Amino acid sequence: MNPIVASLTEVFQMVFFVLWSVFLVEAYLYLHFKKYEEKWFTPAMLAGVPLAGLVYAITAVGPAIPGSIMAAIAMYAFLVELAAIPFFKLVVRGRYSLPLMMIAPGFIGLAMLIAYPLVFEFYLAFHDLKLTTLKVWAETGSIPFMGFQNFVDVFVKSPLSEVTFWRLLLRTLGWTFVNVFFHVVGGFALALVLNNEIKMKGLYRTLLVIPWAMPQVVAVLAMRGEFHSQYGFINVMIERALTAMPWLAHLGIQKVEWLSQHPFLTCTMINVWLGIPFMMVVILGGLQSIPKSYYEAASIDGASAVQKFWNITLPLMRPVLAPAVTLGTIWTFNNINIIYLVTGQAGGTEEADILVSALYKAAFTYNRFSYSAAFAIVIFAILFLVSMLWLKYSKGTDSAYG
Amino acid sequence: MADKDLELARLENDRQQRRDKIKTLILHVLLILACVVTVYPLLRILSVSLRPGDKLMSTSLALIPEGASLKAYADVLTTTHFLRWLWNSLLITVVTSFIGVSLASTAGYAFSRFRFPGNKLGLTLLLGTQMIPAGMLLLPLFLMIMRLGLINTYIGMIIAYSVSSLPFSIWILKGYYDTIPRSLEEAALVDGTTQFGAFYRIVLPLSTPALAIAFLFNFTSSWNEYLVARVVLSDSARYTWTLGLFELQGQFLTQWGMFAAGSLLVTIPVLAVFLYSSKWLISGLTLGSVKG
């Protein structure tokens, strides 16, 4: 079959499946919210819901479902319905029908694709799923129980082949701090410059956001090319400087093997370049909302530019900066893209990995499924702890500022 | 006396003007330097894409290389699956965004207009999902997709993508619905429509800009996605363009020209759409974060 037609058919199947699921959910809720007082309600639902479950299973998966599974579906649907009927008749009594019907499809989607995977992650972390047990699991659905062994291993064994958890943690903290610091400082500086009355401001602003606007894959791969030891822009420039001014070599200036010798530095530089525009735009938005009259009043009082910055700009920017920094920190902490795209190919180094990129590699390059589930939970716990501390800390300073 | 004052004032004025001129000059120099840093890598892609095949490996920094040719563009379009990759990306992205925005449009309305048990909790949970590292959900999602036999399928990709932007879209749309006066719906209710009819006929058409932004947000995040695609797709004919370009760039520099040409072909429309919509996207971003 023509590949275009084949792909369209496949996608339409998906659309049909989603629409059909939404229809069934809404029909179920409609009957239970609006018709619960009818005489036929209880018997019709007890018979209809298991039947609908079977029809749904067959339309979604195909008619090849074994009889035992069909029977199980019908039985579970019957039991669930047996509990649901009194709930709708006695507790819900048709209240809040519209809002609940409106959020139901979205939240069912979130439950299946965010909540269930989270639960499954915990299940995996306490069991032993790796490449050797994968096939058995795919066929029978059972994997050996491990207890807390995986969690112990996270701290004891290397997630990859050499680098340890503690090194990764340290590097992640450094990565997050350095990146967010330069994003905010660089973004602030550019925003301050852009906030003046100058010609072609719109053009500058447009050109400056290009790293953010470009598809990240393209931006990172292009930048990686510029760090190539022979043909990359940086080393070409160094080489030209050396040919023009040979005495520079005596100062220790020479070509750098960016990707193989200093991968972490390379990744950090690329990410700083990528992240500044976002901060710049957010901060510029904030700067423009500060009334000019504040600065005029300060000028009349004889305040210097530095004084104006510390006493007017910075305090008034706090409400803009606080969420931007919080978001920026979480994004940077969780940023797999840059490091994976720069170092992720076969034979890639581990010297640039942070926690999340090591997690990705442990799961999908090394196929240590259960191990990386435990690893993911540990990482999430760290992020959660840091965020709680940060929230507490930032609230503390809020009250200090009144 | 008055003449002297006037003279002094004029001198002071001149000095001020000169100072302003120098300041403007410095600002322009700074901005031009910064723009060079942000734009130059993009120009380098252009330059590499124009290089003739035998001069691909070159330390030249000229923007338009000697013997510039469009051969790399022709090659990437004819000798690779590039068009196929674009089609795959487009198909997956459009369907995902369509599902995401339709689910978000009704959920956002419920959160904006009704008080119901779980209203607050639901909104908080939506924000909470943003805290979960993307890498954390990927493994269980991948295993689920594998077990369902959906590896290497568009359906698997759509499932993996469809709800990732949903919480954010719901917040954006809720924020926008909040700004639409209720009196419009009340008038329609008096005229005999149902509440859902009022949403469908009045609020939804009025929210076109917000729906467009939510769609665009869904669209760009799936369009530029790489890590999920890397895991779910392994057949080169099913790749999205991000995977395809990564493969072209690969270990060998021989395909660098094709990589550059392909990158540019993808980047230009993305840049155009982004720059056109950035104002709204940013207000949406700050809206979500300030409320959080």
- Mapped to the 3 state alphabet, what secondary structure does B271-288 carry? HHHHHHHHHHHHHHHHHH
Given this model, what pLDDT does residue B282 score? 59
CA distance B46 to B42: 7
- CATH number of the structural domain A171-329: 1.10.3720.10
The C-alpha of B6 sits at a distance from chain A's nearest C-alpha, in angstroms, of 22
The C-alpha of B274 sits at a distance from chain A's nearest C-alpha, in angstroms, of 6
Residues of B in contact with A213 (CB under 8 A): 270-271, 274-275, 278
Q: B141: nearest CA in chain A?
A: A117
Both tokens of A180, joined, read: 């967010």
Nearest to A57 by CA among A24, A80, A31, A12: A24
The C-alpha of A356 sits at a distance from chain B's nearest C-alpha, in angstroms, of 7
Selecting from A221, A334, A373 the residue whose C-beta is nearest the C-beta of B139 gives: A373
Domain B72-291: give its CATH superfamily. Answer: MetI-like (1.10.3720.10)
Given this model, what pLDDT does residue B13 score? 86
Given this model, what pLDDT does residue B111 score? 94
**CB B167 within 8 Å of CB B127:** yes
CA distance A29 to A21: 12
Given this model, what pLDDT does residue A347 score? 59
**CB A357 within 8 Å of CB A339:** yes
For residue A299, the Cα-to-chain-centroid distance in whole angstroms is 45
**CB B108 within 8 Å of CB B173:** yes
CA distance B229 to B240: 7
Asked if A337 lies within 8 A of B227 by C-beta distance, the reply is yes
Is residue A201 exposed (0-12), middle (13-18) or buried (19+ Cβ within 10 Å)? middle
CA distance A258 to A235: 9
Residues of B in contact with A377 (CB under 8 A): 136
Q: Which residue has the tokens 């909470």?
A: B128
Residues of B in contact with A219 (CB under 8 A): 41
Tens digit of pLDDT per residue, chain B (292 long)?
567 788 888 888 888 888 888 988 999 999 999 999 999 999 999 998 898 877 777 777 777 888 788 888 998 898 888 999 999 999 999 999 999 999 999 999 999 999 888 888 998 888 888 778 878 899 999 999 988 888 999 999 999 998 888 998 998 899 889 888 888 888 889 988 888 999 999 899 988 888 988 898 899 889 999 999 999 998 888 999 999 988 887 655 667 888 899 999 999 988 888 887 766 665 555 544 333 3
Helices (H), B194-255: 195-198, 204-206, 208-223, 227-232, 241-249
**CB A125 within 8 Å of CB A151:** yes
Given this model, what pLDDT does residue A3 score? 83
For chain B, the residue count is 292
As beta bridge partners, residue A145 has A127
Q: Does B64 contact chain A (CB < 8 Å)?
A: no
Q: Which residue has the tokens 């079977």?
A: A54
Given this model, what pLDDT does residue A356 score? 92
Selecting from B119, B142, B163 the residue whose C-beta is nearest the C-beta of A109 gives: B163
Taking a contact as any Cβ pair under 8 Å apart, which residues of chain B between 213 and 232 contact chain A?
223-224, 226-227, 230-231
Helix (H, G, I), strand (E, B) or coil at A145: strand
Asked if A11 lies within 8 A of B159 by C-beta distance, the reply is no
Instruction: Give, in order, the Cα–Cα distances in Å from A165 to each of A123, A157, A159, A170, A353.
Output: 22, 8, 7, 9, 11
pLDDT per position as a tens digit, B8-51: 888 888 888 888 889 889 999 999 999 999 999 999 999 988 98
Is the confidence at residue A142, as pLDDT, over 60?
A: yes
Residues of B in contact with A92 (CB under 8 A): none
pLDDT per position as a tens digit, A370-386: 999 999 999 999 988 88
Q: Does A301 contact chain B (CB < 8 Å)?
A: no
Nearest to A214 by CA among B173, B245, B193: B245
Both tokens of A387, joined, read: 């965020």
- Cα of first residue to Cα of last residue in chain A, in angstroms, is 69
**CB A281 within 8 Å of CB B282:** yes
Given this model, what pLDDT does residue A102 score? 93
Average pLDDT over residues A52-60: 87
Given this model, what pLDDT does residue A1 score? 67
CA angle A227, A228, A233 (to 5 degrees): 60
Q: What's the Rg (C-alpha) of chain B?
A: 27
Domain ranges of chain A: 3-94, 171-329
CB atoms inside a 10 Å sphere around CB A7: 20
DSSP assigned state of A353: -
Residue A241: CB partners within 8 Å, gap ≥ 6? A248, A253
As beta bridge partners, residue A127 has A145
pLDDT per position as a tens digit, A150-200: 999 889 888 888 889 999 999 999 999 999 999 999 999 999 999 888 888
| A43 membership: H or E segment, kind and range | helix A41-61
Nearest to B224 by CA among B260, B257, B273: B273
